[in-house]
Amino acid sequence: MNKDRKKLLFYVRYTLSVIGVLLLLSSIFELIRISRSDELSSSVQSPTLVSHRVLFLCSYNSLYFTYNDQIEGLKETLYPNGIEFDVIYMDTKKYGSEHDIDMFYTFLKDRLKKDNGYEAVLLGDDDAVKFALKYQDELFKDLPMVFFGVNDENFAEEAAKNPMMTGFYEMDYLSDCIDLAVALFPERKELVALHDNSAAGIADEEIFYSLDLEYPGYKFTDINSALLTQDELVEALQGISSDDAVLLYMTCYSDCEGKTYSVLDRTNTVVKYADVPIIRNYSGGREQGVLGGVYMDFRHQCRDAALIIVDILENGADISDYALDLDTPSKSVFSYPLMQKYGISKKQLPISTEYIGEPENLFTYYSKVLPAAVMIVTALLILIVTSNMAVSQQRIDNEQLKRSKEDLEKSRNRLKYQADHDELSDLLNRRAIVDTLARKVKSGDKYAIVMVDIDGFKDVNENYGHSMADYIIKYLSKELKEMSERGNWLTGRYGGDEFIIMIPNVNLDTDSEEVIQILEAFRKPIVVGEETILLSASIGVSNSNFENLPEQHIINAEIAMYEAKNMGRNTVFIYADEMQLRLREESRLKNLVIEAFDRDQFYILYQPKVETLTGKVVGFEALVRAEFIQEGPGVFIPIVEKNGWVTRLGRIVTEKVIKQLAVWKAQGKELLPVSINFSSKQVNDLGYVSFLSDLLKEYDIPAKYIEIEITESLLLEKSIQSDRLFAELKGLGIRILMDDFGTGYSSLGYLIYVPVDEIKLDKSLVDNYLVPEKDGFIGDVIKLVHDINKTIIIEGVEEEWQFKRLCDFQADAVQGYYFSKPLDPSSAIDFQVEID
Ligand code: C2E
Ligand code: CA
Ligand code: CA
C-alpha cells in the first residue's frame, strides 16, 4: 500500500471516529433530554422564583378521583408563572355536617391568621364554593376566587354573580355516555344508573331520567347506593340482567348507614358483582373493570381556571371580566381488554379516546427513543467500522513489518549462506568450515577430521578442461553432501580438489566404514557423455585426542593426507599412526643415545675449511657422530637436547676435540683451529668456559686452536648467560663464529653489533642465491662482512663453479663436499686440496 493511500485512509478513519463519537455523545444527550421531558410532563417542577401565592380550597381530599387531574392542571399553569399554591381539604364527603363545617371554619380562620399571604383562592367543587360565599368577608375579603368542578348549573350561575368570583361549571357528560351505551350495545335495552346522594350523584340522577324520553324502547332504572347497605348493593348489582342491561356507574360513595367508601373500594365491588358492560361518566375504574366512558377533562378545566388567576395576578386583569364558563372539553377513556371482550372496535369510539391496557405498539413505544437509538446504533456501527479499519490496518502494518523483517532475515541468511558456501560445490568454504569447527567442537568432544584430496586432479584439468573439472567437483560434492546428511557430518571444500569432513562421535581407523565409504565414493567411475573417468582419492585422518584444537587436527589431517599421497595414493593415512611412529622412532633413538653415553660411543669427524686465496686447509669443523646411530647429529642432537643431556654431550665433544689436538700435537702435526658447535641450550652450562680452559691447560693447547660456532638465536637472546659466555670466551682468547647465518632472523644490519669474529653463511643461502643472476646478494653480504672487519666462511659448497664464484666475491674460506666430507682425525690432519 502506498504512503498517500495510507495517509488518506488514516484521515478517513480519524474523521469517521470523530463523527462516531460526536453522534454517540449527542444521542446520549438526546436520551437524557427525552427522559427529562418525560419527567417534566409527568410532574411540573415547582417554581424557583415565587411571586404570588394562592390557596386551593378543595371540597374533598387528595384521594378523590378528580384530585390528581386538578392538581396537575393547576401546576401546569401556575408554576411556570411563579405562582405557588397550598391545598386545604374540607373533606366534606366524610365531614360534611354543619358542625363539621363550623369546625373547619374555625380551623381555617386560625390558619389564615398565622399565614395569610394568599392573593387569590381556587375553589374545587360545590362545597368549597358554598363555604367561600358564606365566609367571604371573614376569610377571603377582596380576594379573587375562581371555582371549578361545580356540578349544579344553577348554583354555579348564582356564584358567578359574586363580583370577586368566577369559575367553571362541571359539565355532565352523562348524556354522551348514554349515547355511547346505546350505540355500542344496541341489543341491550335496559340502562341502569348507579349513583348516590352526593351533589354529583343527585345531578346525575336527574339528568339520567330526563333523558328517558329520548330513548323510546329503553328501560331506565337506577340503584341509589345511599339508600342501601353494602350487602343490599351487592344484591342489587347481581340482580342486573347480564344479557340485556348496561350499567351507568356514576357515584356511590355512601351507603344508607352513613358510611363512605373510597372510589377504589366501591369500583371493586361494582365490577365484581355487576356482570354487565359498565359505562362511567367520570374518570377512574378503567383499570379495574369499567369498560369506559366520557367525562369532563378536569386537568384541562383547572388549567383554564389557573389561567384566570395568572391573568389577574400577573397582568392586573379584573375578575369581573371573566364570566362563568360552561364549556369544558371532555375526555373519553376506555379499557382496551374489555373492548375486546365486548367486541368493540376503536372506530366506534371518539377519535380522541385514550385506551387503557392496550398492548403497546412497539413502534409507538419506541418512536420517541427511536432517533436516539438509530443515532446510537449508527455511532456504534461507525466506531466498529473505524476500529475494524484500524485493527485491519494495524494487522496489515504488522504483517508488512513481519514480512520485511522476514525478508531482511532471509536476505541476511542468503548473504551469510553465500559468504559461507563455496559457489561451485555448495559446500561450506574453507574459512567457514574452519570457523564452524572452531565454534562447534569442544575440547572434550570425540570426532575425526578427514582431509580428502583427489589424486591426479591436475591431469583431469589438463586433459578434459576446466568445465569438466568443475563438473566432477560438483558431482563429487553432491555425493559427499548426501553422505554428510546421512551421517550428520560437517563437510566443506578446503581447496581446489581438497575436501574436509568432520565426523562426530568417532575415531577412525584405516578400515573404518566411513573411510571406506569416502574412498569408494571417489573411486566410483564417473560417466560424462561418452567419457568414463576413473578417479581415486588420498585421505588423511586426524582423530580427536582431548588435547589439540580442531585447527591443529585440520593441519594433522592434511599432513596425514600428504603422507597417504606419499604412500602411493588411493589410500588412507591416520595421523596418529605417524605420531606413534615418530614416538617409537624417538624412543629407539633415545635408547641408542643413552647407550652411546654409557658406552662412550660418540666420536668426532673433522671437516676441513679451505682458504679461497691459497687453496690451503685453514681449519676444521668438529662434527659429532655416534657409533651405532645411523642418523646424523641433525637427528639425534634434538633428542639429546630434549632430554637435557646437551651439556654432557657438549663437554664430551669439547674434551674429545682437545684430546685430538693433543694427539695431533704429539704426532708432530701442524695444528689448525677446530670449531666446535655450541647448542643454544648449552648456554645454561655456566661452568663450560672454565671446563674448556682447564682442558686447554691440561693438554697444553693454546686457545687459538679452538673456535666456537654459535647460532643466531643465541646471539639474539641477549640473556645474562649469553653475554657472560661471550665475554668469558673472549677473555680466554677464543674466536666466536656465527653459524647458520641466513636461516633465522638475519638482517644484515645487526651483524655490526654481534660480538663474533667470523660469519658462517648457511648452506641454504648458497643453494638459493649462489645461482647465476641472483648471486649479487651473496657478494654484497661478503662485502659488508669485510667492511665491518669480520671474516666470512661459506659452507655447503658442492660445485666447482660455486667455489670459483665465491673466490670472485673474495669470501675468506669455504667448507663443503666440493673439497671434503667430514673426515676421521688422521685423514683430516693430512688432508690436502688437490689443485689441478
Ligand atoms: P652444521 O653446524 O651446519 O654443520 C654442517 C653440516 O653440513 C654437517 O652435517 C656437514 O656434514 C654438512 N655439510 C658440510 N658440507 C656439506 C656439503 O657440501 N653438502 C652437504 N649436503 N652437507 C654438507 P652434520 O655433520 O650431519 O651435522 C648436522 C648438524 O648437527 C650441524 O649442522 C650441527 O648443527 C649439528 N652438530 C654436529 N655436530 C655437533 C656437535 O658436536 N655439537 C653440537 N651442538 N651440534 C653438532
Ligand atoms: Ca656448524
Ligand atoms: Ca650450518
- CA of 739 from ligand 3 middle (Å) equals 5
Residues 398-448: pLDDT tens digits?
A: 998 999 899 999 999 999 999 999 999 999 999 999 999 999 888 788 999
My answer on whether 90 and 202 are in the same domain is: no
Identify the domain boundary among 101, 136, 164: 164
Query: Same structural domain for residues 769 and 638?
Result: yes
Distance CA 562, CA 452 (A): 10
Task: Determine if ligand 1 sits within 6 Å of the CB of residue 798.
Answer: yes
Distance 795 CA to ligand 2 centre (A): 9
pLDDT at 746 over 90: no
pLDDT at position 718, please? 77
pTM higher than the cut 0.85 = no
Question: For residue 43, is pLDDT > 70?
Answer: no
**Measured between alpha carbons, how far is 711 from 742 in angstroms, rounded to an integer?**
11
| pLDDT computed for residue 577 by the predictor | 62
More confident residue, 674 or 5: 674
Dist. CA 758 → ligand 2 center (Å) = 12
Q: How far is ligand 1, taken at its centre, from the CA of residue 623, in Å?
A: 6
Q: Is the CB of 685 under 6 A from ligand 1?
A: no
> Which residue's CA is the closest to the ligand 1 atom numbered 3?
740
Is there an atom of ligand 1 within 6 Å of 817 CB? yes
Residue 408 in any domain: the answer is no
Tell me what the mean pLDDT of segment 137-148 comes to: 93
For ligand 1, atom 45, the nearest C-alpha belongs to 677
Same domain flag for 143 and 201 = no
Question: Phi/psi of residue 544, each to 5°?
Answer: -60, 145
Question: Is the residue at 465 inside a domain?
Answer: yes
Of 137, 164, 191, the one marking the end of a domain is 164
In a shared domain, residues 130 and 186: no
Amino acid at 264: L
Give the chain's mean pLDDT: 90
Nearest to 540 by CA among 479, 476, 456, 449: 449
The pLDDT-based confidence of 745 (bands split at 50, 70, 90) is low
> How buried is 500 (Cβ within 10 angstroms: 0-12 exposed, 13-18 middle, 19+ buried)?
buried
pLDDT for position 461: 87
496, 349: one domain: no
d(CA 205, CA 210): 8
Domain presence at residue 413 = no
Specify the 3-state DSSP secondary structure of 476: helix
Whether residues 192 and 248 share a domain: the answer is yes
State the distance from the centre of ligand 1 to the C-alpha of 800, rounded, in angstroms: 20
Range of the domain at 97: 52-164
Query: For residues 149 and 169, what is the distance between their CA atoms, to the nearest angstrom?
Result: 6
Instruction: In whole angstroms, give the CA distance from residue 251 to residue 257.
Output: 16
Measure 710 CA to ligand 3 centroid, in angstroms. 10
Answer whether 796 contacts ligand 1 (Cβ < 6 A): yes
**Ion ligand 2: residue ranges with CB closer than 5 A:** 677, 709, 739
Q: Which helix (H) or strand (E) holds 374?
A: helix 370-420
pLDDT at 835: 64
pLDDT for 393: 85
537 vs 497: CA distance, rounded Å:
10
Q: Is 633 in the pocket of ligand 1 (CB under 6 A)?
A: yes
Give the number of other Cβ atoms within 10 Å of residue 534's Cβ: 8
8-state DSSP, 330 = E
Ligand 1 mean position to 734 CA, how many Å?
Answer: 21
Give the Å distance between the CA of 677 and the centre of ligand 2.
Answer: 5
Rounded CA separation 506/524 (Å): 25
**Domain-embedded: residue 459:** yes
pLDDT tens figures, 298-328: 888 999 999 999 999 988 899 988 988 877 7
Nearest-CA residue for atom 32 of ligand 1: 634
Looking at the structure, tell me whether residues 112 and 207 fall in a common domain: no
CB of 277 shorter than 6 A to ligand 1: no
Asked if residue 567 has pLDDT above 90, the reply is: no
Cα 632 to ligand 1 centre (Å): 8
pLDDT digits (tens, 9 = 90+) for 369-391: 788 888 888 889 988 888 888 88
Cβ atoms within 10 A of the Cβ of 175, count? 16
Q: Is the pLDDT of residue 810 over 90?
A: yes
The mean per-residue pLDDT over the stretch 657-661 comes to 98
Both 626 and 773 in one domain: the answer is yes
- Which triple of cell numbers denotes residue 343? 367486541
Residues 608 and 559 placed together within one structural domain of the fold? no
Domain membership of residue 369 (yes or no) is no
Highest mean pLDDT: which range of 36-50, 161-175, 470-484: 470-484
Q: Would the pLDDT of 160 be above 70?
A: yes
CA of 716 to the centre of ligand 1 (A): 21
pLDDT tens, residue by residue, 704-737: 999 999 988 788 777 889 999 999 999 999 999 9
| pLDDT at site 214 | 87
Closest atom of ligand 1 to CA, residue 633? 30
The confidence score (pLDDT) of residue 488 equals: 93
Q: What's the 755 CA to ligand 2 centre distance in angstroms?
A: 17
CATH number at residue 178: 3.40.50.2300
Report if residue 451 sits inside a domain: yes
The response to whether residue 822 sits with its C-beta less than 6 Å from ligand 1 reads yes
Q: Residue 528 is part of a domain; what is its CATH number?
A: 3.30.70.270
Whether residues 143 and 202 fall in one domain: no
* Residue 454's pLDDT band (cuts 50, 70, 90): very high
Maximum average pLDDT range among 26-40, 518-532, 672-686? 672-686
* Residues pairing with 793 in the sheet: 760, 813
CB-ligand 1 contact for 739 (6 Å cutoff): yes
Over range 65-79, report the average pLDDT. 89
Quick one: pLDDT band at residue 360, thresholds 50, 70, 90? confident
Q: pLDDT value at position 737?
A: 96
Specify whether 668 is located in the same domain as 801: yes
Q: Whose CA is nearest to atom 19 of ligand 1?
A: 796
For residues 106-118, give the mean pLDDT: 87
- Pocket of ligand 1 contains residue 795 by CB under 6 Å: yes
Is 415 domain-assigned? no
pLDDT digits (tens, 9 = 90+) for 208-223: 998 888 898 899 999 9
Q: Is the pLDDT of residue 56 over 80?
A: yes
Pairing relationship of beta strands 330-335 and 791-795 according to DSSP bridges:
unpaired
752 pLDDT higher than 70: yes
Query: Count of domains in the chain?
Result: 4
Residue 296 CA to ligand 2 centre (angstroms) = 151
Residue to substitute in 677, 679, 801 for testing ligand 1 pocket (most ligand atoms within 8 angstroms of CB): 677
Identify whether residues 669 and 524 lie together within a single domain: no
Is residue 399 in some structural domain?
no
The CATH number given to whatever domain includes residue 726 is: 3.20.20.450
Q: Is 542 in the pocket of ligand 1 (CB under 6 A)?
A: no
For residues 604-626, average pLDDT: 97
Ligand nearest to C-alpha 648: 1
Out of 520, 541, 575, pick the residue that ends a domain.
Answer: 575
Pocket test for ligand 1, best of 597, 604, 607, 623 (most atoms within 8 A of CB): 623
Which ligand is nearest to the Cα of residue 761, counting in written order?
3
Answer whether 491 contacts ligand 1 (Cβ < 6 A): no
